[in-house]
Amino acid sequence: MTVITAEHLLTRVRDLLAAHPPADTDRADFLRARFDAGLAWVHYPEGLGGLGAPRSLQSVVDTELEAAGAPDNDPRRIGIGLGMAAPTILAYGTEEQKQRFLRPLWLGEEVWCQLFSEPGAGSDLAALGTRAVREGGSGDWIVDGQKVWTSSAHTARWAILIARTDPALPKHQGITYFLCDMHAPGVEVRPLRQITGEAEFNEVFLTGVRVPDAQRLGAVGEGWAVARTTLMNERVSIGGMRIPREGGMIAPAAAAWRERPELRTHALHQRLLELWVEAEVARLTGERLRQQLVAGQPGPEGSGMKLTFARLNQEISGLEVELLGEEGLLYDDWTMRRPEGVDFTGREAGYRYLRAKGNSIEGGTSEILLNIVAERVLGLPPEPRDDKDLAWKDLNR
């Protein structure tokens, strides 16, 4: 068995660049060649965009390609596919599903969204009520229900979907995980306008949507275990993003401090210094977490990173608005827009301040993540749950 080293990867990258010079190669053609060379996700298996290499070596590839001016796959636009759908399909998918979905997902040819939360099942996701009923003759599943807070549903081609297939079992059981065609008859997407004025979120109505059994991911009734893989990866992808020193939300706040000396006060200076240090600690902790991921799947530590991400974004953006005074809440476009991707830290200070309010809700509310950290990281006793063993159909809703 060949051991993949950094030198081996650098040779592959240079061969790719020689055969497909970025300046002279169509963007889509370059990305296809990169995937087929195993340089998309180096830790994925051969034939699925990888080489079975250590995950830690991905940065070797990314750094070399970035220095050469190679195009990326627009990760902000396809973040749900990259951070949530792909690792779940890799872990639970059949070989046919992996071959069908992973390549167009990484290339950005097919955008993904996540059909998990519901109006009555957000923090308590396992209480979901969307039903999937097996049709006798065809073996297909017929899905009916409503999902909410669905980022990118308006641009998505596919969705990861969990639905209840046996209401007689307790709520964490009787759930099955599917890959849903967002262009299928019966799928309706409606925008949800946010405090920022735009609508990157949606509510999705599923009415008699037919999902072939070949699009089921994992065993019938084991969807909660599959969904946990997705959720752990989601929290890492949100809270553990790789950023440079003084990157992310702290960057514009520090820039405003340097560029606008007339706005400075001693109290604001102290708060900025404290938040700068916290941001740097969070960044280094994220690096540590990514090193741990090399050895296996993400665990509950990702919940702690996501908690920190939300709190710091809100505190730093609040400081920046206070620093800028009456200018703080102004930004250039309040119209109803339908962005293709999520931008946590972009645009003006006023936008960042308002958008950061959602950071403590999306990807798992901070309250739920505190419970996860308490129970699974610190080993504290769990909260009493008197509905855990009740059949879902008998729950008070």
Which residues, in sequence order, are bridge partners of residue 160?
114, 179
What is the three-state SS of 146-208?
Answer: EECCCCCCCCCCEEEEEEECCCCCECCCCEEEEEEECCCCCEEEEEECCCCCCCCEEEEEEEE
369 CA to centre of own chain = 15
Q: Considering 234, 301, 315, 320, which one is annotated as catalytic?
A: 234
User: First CA to last CA across the chain, in angstroms?
Assistant: 55
Q: Please say whether the beta carbons of 150 and 114 come within 8 A.
A: yes
- With 0-12 / 13-18 / 19 or more C-beta atoms within 10 angstroms meaning exposed / middle / buried, residue 81 is buried
Contact 108, 35 (CB under 8 A): no
Euclidean distance between CA atoms 5 and 41, whole angstroms: 15
Rounded CA separation 225/176 (Å): 9
How do beta strands 201-211 and 187-192 pair? antiparallel
234 assigned to active site: yes
Of 145, 233, 223, 146, give the one whose Cα is nearest residue 178. Answer: 223
Burial of 30 (0-12, 13-18, 19+ CB in 10 A): buried
Residues in the chain: 397
Q: How many helices (H) and strands (E) does the chain have?
A: 12, 8
Q: Active-site positions? A: 234
